[in-house]
Structure 1
Amino acid sequence: MLWRPDYSAHVLHTVVAAKRPEIWRLVLGISVMVTCYILMALFYQQAISELTRYQPEFLDELIAGSTPLAMYTLLLSFGLISVAVFIGVRLVHKRDPLSVFGPMMLAVPQFARVLGILVILSAALMILPPYGFGGELVLNLAPGLWAVLLPLSLLAVFVQISAEEIFFRGYLQQQLAARFRSPLVWMVLPSAVFAFGHYQPEEAGGNAMLIVVWAGLFGILMADLTARAGSIGPAIAVHFVNNVTALVIVALPDSLGGLALWHTPFGMADEAQLRAWMPVDFAMMIVSWLAARLALRR
C-alpha cells in the first residue's frame, strides 16, 4: 500500500555507516565538519569582502538576496557545507565521501525519475487555475536576462539544496540509523535540527514558528523518501523543485528574490497575507511527496 512505511531499502543507505556507528564518532565528525566549515566560510567571506570593497551597497544586497550576484554568492556558499561533510566522512568515518548519497546506482536514476514527475506536476499547476497570489505578480527580471541566467541559477540552487540533503538526510540520517533502529531518532532528530535552522523571527515575525513547522514536516517527509528509496536522490529532487519554484520562478520581494522572474504582490513583512498562503505551501509539499513516492513505485 502507498501509505505503509516500507523502509526495507533503508539498509542500502545506512550499511556504509554501520561499520563505524559509534556516537562519539558522530560527535567528532560533526565537530570536524563545523570546524572545517567555519574556516572555509571565513576565507569565503574575506574573498567576497575584497572583491566588493568598493561596493558598500553589496552588503545590504547580500543580506536580502535582492540581486542575482548576491543570490549566487549566498547559494554557492552552501557548497562549503558539502565539502565540510565530505572531509568529516573521510577523516572520521574512513569511508568514501560520496557514500552519503547512498548507492549512486540508485541515487542518480531515482533523482531523475522523481525530478521528471515533479517538473510535469509543477508545470500543470502553473497552467491550471487559480492564478496569481491574490494580486498581480510583479516582473523582477527581464525574461531575456532571466533565461540567460537560468542555467547558473539552477546550478546555484542545486548546490544549496544538495548541501542540506547531504548533511541532514545523508550524513546525519545514515549515522543515526546505523546506531538506532527507531525512526523517532533518525527521522525526527535531523528534521528538528533542520526545522530550527529555518527559525528567523526578525524576518518572519509572527510567522516564524509556522515556517519552522513547515520545515520540520518537510524534513520528516524527505527522511521518509530516503528510507523508502535507499538513497537521498528523491529527496534532492523534491528539494530542488521546491526551491527552484520559490527562488527562481516566483519569490518574495523582500527575501531572497534576486533570481526570480516574478515577485509576489506581498512580502515576508506582510504577515497576514503570507500566513494565508502557507496552507497552499503545506499542500504542495504533501502533493510533491506523494508524487515522489509514486515515481519510486514505477
Structure 2
Amino acid sequence: MRYDPYQPLIAAARPTASLRMLIAGVILTVLISWALNYLLWSIAFALLPANLGNALAAAVDATQTPGGVILNLFFFALLSAALAITLRILHQRNLMSLMGSFEQTVHQFRRTGLALIVLFIALTFMPMPTDTTPAPHLPLGIWLGFLPLTLLGLLIQTSAEELVFRGYIQSLLAARFPHPLIWIGVPSLLFGLLHHDPDLPALNAAVVVLWATLFGIAAADLTARSGTLGPAIALHMVNNFSAIAVAAPEGAFDGLALYTFPFSLSSTDALIVWAPVDLMVLFCSWLAVRLALRR
C-alpha cells in the first residue's frame, strides 16, 4: 500500500499525538457539540413564539419531511464547530490542517466526485432484485426546489463526519501508531458502532454496523492514499445523496427522497437481499475513486 501522500497530515498531528490527548479531544468535542446544540435551542425558544419553537423542534424530529431532513443535516455544522474549538484549545490547530492542502482537497473532491457520479448513473441501469423496485415519493418539482439545500446539507454533514473520523481521530492515531490496522481499523469501527440502531432487529443492526465499518475502512484508505479528505468526502457525499435524496428505504430518513424502496430497514428479508448489493456498490465506488486518483 502506498500511503506516502498521508505523511504531511501525520506530521501535522504528531506534536500533540497521544492517546490521552486523543481521548480528551473526543470527549471535549462531544461536550462542546452538546453545549452548542443546547445554546442554539435555548436561543431559538427565547426568540421565537412558543408555537414556532415547538414546530421547529417537531420538524427536526420529523425525518420524513424535507424540512426535517435538511435541518438534521445542517445541525452537523455544530459538530464541525465543536471540533474546531477542540483543535484550537488542545492542539493549537485549525480545521483546514485536518484536510490537507485546500487546493488539492478541492481538486481531488471534484475529480473523484465526478467519477462516482458516472458510476452511480451506470448502476441505475442494473437489474433490481425482485420486488424492490422503488416507487415515486417527492414530486420532481419539489425535489428540485430543495436540491440546493440538500446538496449543501449533505456537504455539511459528510464533511463534519470525515473531519472527525478520518481527519482527527485517524491522523492522531497514525502519528502515534505506525500500523494501518490500528489507525484505519479503530476509527472505522467507531464509525460503524455509531450507526448502531437499537430499534432494529439484531441481525439488521449488525449488518448496518458492518456496512458502516467497511465504508469507514474505504474512506480511511482513500484518505491515506490521497493525502487529503477530498476523496473521502466525495465518496461519503455521493453515497449519502443516493441513499437520502435519490432512493431511500421507506420511513427511514426519506423526507428528501425522490423515490422510496418498498421496505424499511427493519425488514430482515429485504436487508439480506440488498446487503450484498450495497457491499458491491461500496467496493466499486472505492475502486472508482482509486482509478480517478491515478489519472
Is the Cα–Cα contact under 8 Å of residues 204 and 266 in structure 2 kept in the other structure? no
1:135 Cα deviation after fit:
4.0
1:184 Cα deviation after fit:
1.8
Structure 2, unaligned runs of 5 or more: none
| Whole-angstrom CA distance in 2 between matches of 1:139 and 1:230 | 40
Partner of 2:23: 27
Sequence identity (%): 37
Which amino acid is the alignment partner of residue 39 of structure 2? F
Structure 1, unaligned runs of 5 or more: none
User: Which string of whole-angstrom CA distances, capped at 9 and with x for unpartnered residues, describes residues 44-101 of structure 1?
Assistant: 3445667595376876664451001110111111111111111111111012321111
Give the 3 Å change call, closer, same or farther, for CA 274–52 of structure 1 in structure 2: farther
**Greater shift after overlay, 102-111 or 238-247?**
102-111
Which amino acid is the alignment partner of residue 161 of structure 1? T
TM-score by length of 2: 0.93
After superposition, the CA RMSD in angstroms is 2.0
1:131 Cα deviation after fit:
4.4
Aligned length: 293
Partner of 2:4: 8
Partner of 1:218: 215
Secondary structure (helix, strand or coil) at the match of 1:203 reads coil
**Residue of 192, 196, 217 corresponding to 2:193:** 196
| Whole-angstrom CA distance in 2 between matches of 1:114 and 1:52 | 45
1:158 Cα deviation after fit:
1.2
TM-score by length of 1: 0.92
| Whole-angstrom CA distance in 2 between matches of 1:232 and 1:293 | 14
Is the Cα–Cα contact under 8 Å of residues 101 and 166 in structure 1 kept in the other structure? yes
**Would you say 1:147 and 2:144 are equivalent positions?**
yes
| Whole-angstrom CA distance in 1 between matches of 2:100 and 2:49 | 39
Partner of 2:65: 67
Is the Cα–Cα contact under 8 Å of residues 115 and 289 in structure 2 kept in the other structure? yes
Which amino acid is the alignment partner of residue 152 of structure 2? L
Give the 3 Å change call, closer, same or farther, for CA 247–189 of structure 1 in structure 2: same
Give the 3 Å change call, closer, same or farther, for CA 204–108 of structure 1 in structure 2: farther
**Would you say 1:98 and 2:93 are equivalent positions?**
no
1:28 Cα deviation after fit:
2.5
Secondary structure (helix, strand or coil) at the match of 1:267 reads coil
